[in-house]
Each structure stands twice: as structure tokens, then as C-alpha cells.
């Protein structure tokens, strides 16, 4: 059975003090509300990871990073390696978020290296793909998302691609309040899963969790998560408010 995952992506938000308050609210509110096999991940800014991890203790919530370097180690000022994350026992790392692609020029080949680093360190990459509005309007969204998936993941062995979590995030839905309809989400998730099945077989494709991201809110989470190929969500804005995030988690 595929893992259900709800990951909060805090992006570059909150002071440390505010992050601690949010975490403690989440811990209180999620008691008995995280369904058995669901995983809840808080992708915090790098400097808060250890503090929030410590605060979570053996709660069912875990932490994740929002990025890692494509390099193993060395003279790369300002970067954080996958091995460093591993040394802090951080289990998840987001790779290829559309903001990294857009503002930091990260492309498919570079992201493939980051995925490799994450897997080599034993982390679970949450690999993001998704199309911009113009691409959807042109009707090329399926082709683009297949290409993004291929470029960064299809060099992996079947055993390794099974360890990856994918997050389909249409760029036009991120932070805009414009969510994909559950039908649009399901269609794209089926395209991604079908593409993986064509290369790796059904068994591998059926084992990979594919999350939806882009304006997930308490009032649309349940319907999105009920879709056959939607295995949870990657949540930005709404993960910064404890009540909203918990209501989303309840929808999984």
C-alpha cells in the first residue's frame, strides 16, 4: 500500500520563535488525528531543522529540508549537503520545487544530481514537477511533466525510484489560491504514474506516492486526496497556520 503523506513547505517564513509556537500547536492539534499510515512532514528552513526535530521528539510528525546541494562536500559557500542532512537524521528533502527552478535556475540534469545525492545519503527526496500556465494553455502540460520526470528520475534503478516521492505542483496553482480541480489533479497524477509504469512496470509505479501541491486548503484537501492517484499533498501557505494544516491532514 502506498504511503499517504502530507508535507508542509514553510518556504522562507517564520522566525525561530514563531516556528516553535506553530510546531507546538501542531503537536497538540494532531493528537489522534493522524491516520495510521499517514506521514506528516514539516519542511522547515535549514536553520530550524534540528530545533524543530528535537521539539517533535517521538511525535508522529517528522521534519524535512527544502533543498540540498548537488555536490557531495567542499568549497560551496552557503550550501547544505544531503550527507549533512543525513547526519542530523533528517528523513525528507524537497528537490526541484518550482521556486528553485524559477528563481535559482535549477533544471532537470542538476535536479537528477540532487536526487542522486539525496538517495545516496539515505534521504527520501520529494521531487517536484509541474507546468506553468502558458504550458497548460498550449496543451503541452502532460508532455512537460513527463519530460521533467524523465530528466531527473529515469536514470534511477527500479529499486531507487521506489524510494522517491513525487509532488505534482502546477505552477499556476502555487500561492495563487487557484487550485487544480480534483479531476485535473487526478488526470495528471495518472499521467505521471502511467509514464513510470511504461518504463519501470506497474508494480514500481503503484508503489510511488504522488502528492498534489498548489493552494491545498482545508476545504479542498479531502476531495483532492480522495482521488485514486493522489496520495497526499505538499502544502505551502496553509501549512503556516496550525488549524488549517491540521484540517488538511485530517483530509488524507
User: Does 215 participate in binding ligand PGA (rule CB under 6 A)?
Assistant: yes
Q: What are phi and psi of 22, to 5 degrees?
A: -60, -45
Contact 84, 67 (CB under 8 A): no
Return the range that interacts with ligand PGA (CB under 6 A); candidates 23-31, 111-119, 140-148, 169-177.
169-177
Report in angstroms how near the CB of residue 7 gets to ligand PGA at its nearest: 8
CA-atom Rg of the chain in angstroms: 17
| Residue 249 to residue 241: CA distance in whole angstroms | 12
User: Does 237 participate in binding ligand PGA (rule CB under 6 A)?
Assistant: yes
Report in angstroms how near the CB of residue 198 gets to ligand PGA at its nearest: 27
| Residue 31 to residue 80: CA distance in whole angstroms | 32
User: Does 19 participate in binding ligand PGA (rule CB under 6 A)?
Assistant: no
Of 180 and 208, the one with the shorter C-beta distance to ligand PGA is 180
| Residue 229 to residue 245: CA distance in whole angstroms | 21
Closest CA to 213 of 105, 69, 96, 107: 96
User: Does 175 participate in binding ligand PGA (rule CB under 6 A)?
Assistant: yes
User: Does 174 participate in binding ligand PGA (rule CB under 6 A)?
Assistant: yes
| Residue 154 to residue 105: CA distance in whole angstroms | 21
User: Does 5 participate in binding ligand PGA (rule CB under 6 A)?
Assistant: no
Of 62 and 200, the one with the shorter C-beta distance to ligand PGA is 62
User: Does 9 participate in binding ligand PGA (rule CB under 6 A)?
Assistant: yes
Of 165 and 200, the one with the shorter C-beta distance to ligand PGA is 165
User: Does 214 participate in binding ligand PGA (rule CB under 6 A)?
Assistant: yes
Of 90 and 173, the one with the shorter C-beta distance to ligand PGA is 173
**Cell, residue 232:** 497526499
| Residue 81 to residue 95: CA distance in whole angstroms | 12
Q: Which residues lie below 8 Å from residue 73, measured CB to CB, with a gap of 6+?
A: 81, 83
Catalytic sites, residue numbers: 97, 169
Report in angstroms how near the CB of residue 163 gets to ligand PGA at its nearest: 21
Interacting residues toward ligand PGA by CB under 6 A: 9, 169, 174-175, 213-216, 234-238
Amino acid at each position: 500500500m502506498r504511503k499517504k503523506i502530507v508535507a508542509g513547505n514553510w518556504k522562507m517564513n517564520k522566525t525561530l520563535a514563531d516556528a516553535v509556537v506553530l510546531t507546538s500547536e501542531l503537536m497538540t492539534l494532531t493528537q489522534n488525528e493522524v491516520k495510521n499510515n499517514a506521514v506528516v512532514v514539516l519542511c522547515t528552513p535549514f536553520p530550524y531543522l534540528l530545533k524543530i526535530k528535537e521539539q517533535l521528539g517521538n511525535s508522529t510528525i517528522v521534519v524535512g529540508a527544502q533543498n540540498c546541494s548537488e555536490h557531495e562536500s567542499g568549497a560551496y559557500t552557503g550550501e547544505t549537503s544531503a550527507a549533512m542532512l543525513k547526519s542530523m537524521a533528517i528523513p525528507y528533502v524537497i528537490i526541484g520545487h518550482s521556486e528553485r527552478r524559477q528563481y535559482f535556475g535549477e533544471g532537470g540534469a542538476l535536479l537528477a544530481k540532487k536526487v542522486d545525492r539525496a538517495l545516496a545519503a539515505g534521504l527520501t527526496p520529494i521531487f517536484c514537477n509541474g507546468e506553468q500556465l502558458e504550458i497548460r494553455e498550449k496543451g503541452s502540460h502532460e508532455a512537460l511533466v513527463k519530460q521533467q520526470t524523465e530528466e531527473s528520475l529515469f536514470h534511477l534503478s527500479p529499486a531507487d525510484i521506489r524510494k522517491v516521492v513525487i509532488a505534482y505542483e502546477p505552477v499556476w496553482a502555487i500561492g495563487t489560491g487557484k487550485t487544480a480541480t480534483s479531476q485535473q489533479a487526478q488526470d495528471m497524477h495518472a499521467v505521471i504514474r502511467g509514464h513510470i509504469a511504461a518504463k519501470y512496470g506497474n508494480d514500481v509505479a503503484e508503489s510511488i506516492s504522488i502528492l498534489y501541491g498548489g493552494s491545498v486548503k482545508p476545504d479542498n484537501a479531502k476531495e483532492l486526496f480522495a482521488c485514486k492517484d493522489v496520495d497526499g499533498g505538499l502544502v505551502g501557505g496553509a501549512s503556516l497556520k496550525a488549524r488549517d494544516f491540521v484540517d488538511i491532514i485530517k483530509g488524507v
